[in-house]
Structure 1
């Protein structure tokens, strides 16, 4: 068997700074050709900028949405790549927003992220339009904007790789990953008005010491009760979160950028269904009374070798067919037909 294709740096540890850019692409041959060429140049651009300060761990992950994949690369399509599924009723909804390309830049210095983002966006050409850009920062001891430690349960090392990198289940795309992103805005005035004990019940952990509440104390609607997903054997399914706080205090904007990497989108989709619809329906994540999702997207992250190969891809004239595994939603629940799921 040939050695597995190395993944993009999806399982890298947290850094002090990050930039997230989501953009759309013009649907014309010139743009498609330029983006394919860009796939072959990406690694060299990262090396050129990162060489200035190798100790600051500059990296970039690039992903593509389902519609963009069909237009840029044609068939075959990664088995579980599809448009983002919306969840929940109107008052608390996981919304889907436009996105053909995702860039996730990380480093221990924002200037490195900024420099690389400048080169990457310029190289994508005039057919690329950024529809969302967030500059994230490390907040004290890895705390989210709402004051709780974020990413405590992230797997590390080889466990992180196993959780995020596709293997034999989709051999044409081995070494790749799926990533779901959402930008959340927080009602900090309302959140800060809550007693700490109430905040802890909503999150399911203590605020100062970051200790998980015991089952007798933790409500079934606590955030971490609804976001733990298990397989048929009762084993927890890991994902890797690269969440970052962001904000503009002068504009009253305080937020968290959620980004979750996994070898299948289904566990993250089940988390979103649990949070926004509830488990059971109506028993939703009470954090959503103070946090609003304003973006949502699902992207496929090719392996490093595939990313290079895509620069030479001659896409078929016909769009990629629907996935062959009969996928119909999160953990085979729900429906892709309307890209929505709510009760």
Structure 2
């Protein structure tokens, strides 16, 4: 089974994130749109050759079960609010994630994909992400340093062979708003303490000096000697004069790793919350999706 095409490529410079709800009685239309989206993506990949153009279509728990698939994507469940509301739940039926090295390629594919779904879905959210200098976030720190590389990307992101859902992936999408005035007022030393890395050099702070509630301290998790890794495909979004922040999107072969990191960030493990949530970021959405392998998408 082959994965959908927005999961593996790294370092893309532009993305479109769309969430939608399926309208009553429109499942067959959605199935047809998914099949057509595969051919459309292949067509535009030829038009935008060399752009690493790719797309992922994911389904929320209710939508996936409506298709009658219970064994595949068996870990999938609705997102639940965490941290007393610090991580709100905004679960929807459908996710469209398009990414590319050029924004025109990502926009073209997302626009034509959405047209295929037509009136069968109601779009609830749409954001456009962009890669900044040196792959830094709006906070000024390099984003995704701990991302798996090379063959470890597929090992981390995709459900392994031998399973009925091999090649599929679990997805988290969260929107974070950033208060950059508050963040800048902290000063570089305090920012580095919050993140757990140096700002300019992107080096991990020594464990002896790292705060347990720093971001790195919250998400660099291990169980039985193995890291609970995820594959980030996040990008900054927004306007300079208005709302801006991070569209956090992660793929993983198991929902467990994703949820473990969230619980750690939002106080579900030991009562400590991520310092980034105190000084920079506010989560305003949260949803889980299952992205079936390409072949299953074509025969829902």
Whether TM exceeds 0.5 here: the answer is yes
TM-score (normalised: structure 2): 0.96
The 1-side partners of 2:118 and 2:69 are apart by 21
Alignment of structure 1 residues 204-215 onto 2, 5 Å: 204-215=196-207
- Residue 228 of structure 1 corresponds to which residue in structure 2? 220
What is residue 184 of structure 2 aligned with on the other side? 192
Which of 102, 105, 109 is equivalent to 2:95?
102
Aligned residues: 298
Is this contact kept in 2: 1:98–1:131, CA < 8 A?
A: no
Report the Cα distance in structure 2 between the residues aligned to 1:223 and 1:80, rounded to whole angstroms: 26
TM-score (norm 1): 0.84
User: How do residues 11-26 of structure 1 correspond to structure 2 at under 5 angstroms?
Assistant: 11-26=8-23
Q: Does 1:284 find its partner at 2:273? A: yes
In the aligned structure 1, how far is the partner of 2:40 from the partner of 2:12?
19
Matching of residue 273 in structure 1 with residue 269 in structure 2: no
For residues 313-324 of structure 1, what are the structure 2 equivalents within 5 Å? none
Structure-to-structure mapping, 1:51-62, within 5 angstroms = 51-62=46-57
Query: Hey, what does 1:304 align to over in structure 2?
Result: 294
Whether the 8 Å CA contact 2:174–2:284 is kept in 1: the answer is yes
Unaligned runs of 5+ in 1: 311-343
- Does residue 239 (structure 1) correspond to residue 230 (structure 2)? The answer is yes
Does residue 112 of the first structure (1) align with residue 102 of the second (2)?
Answer: no
Which secondary structure does the structure 1 equivalent of 2:164 belong to?
Answer: helix
The answer to whether the 8 A contact 2:129-2:236 is kept is yes
How far apart, CA to CA, are the structure 2 residues paired with 1:119 and 1:222? 41
* SS of residue in 1 equivalent to 2:132: coil
Q: 1:84 aligns with which of 63, 79, 87?
A: 79
Q: 1:198 to 1:278 in 2, by over 3 A?
A: farther
**How big is the shift at 1:260?**
0.8
Q: CA RMSD in A?
A: 1.4
SS at match of 2:67: helix
Match of 1:129 among 122, 133, 136: 122
The question of 1:161 aligning with 2:154 is answered: yes
Corresponding position of 1:6: 2
Contact 1:135 1:246 survives alignment (8 Å): yes
Does structure 2 conserve the Cα–Cα contact (< 8 Å) formed by 1:70 and 1:77? no
Q: Distance in 1 between matches of 2:234 and 2:14?
A: 11
Render the CA deviation track for 1:41-63: whole Å, top value 9, x for unaligned.
Answer: 12211122222120111110111
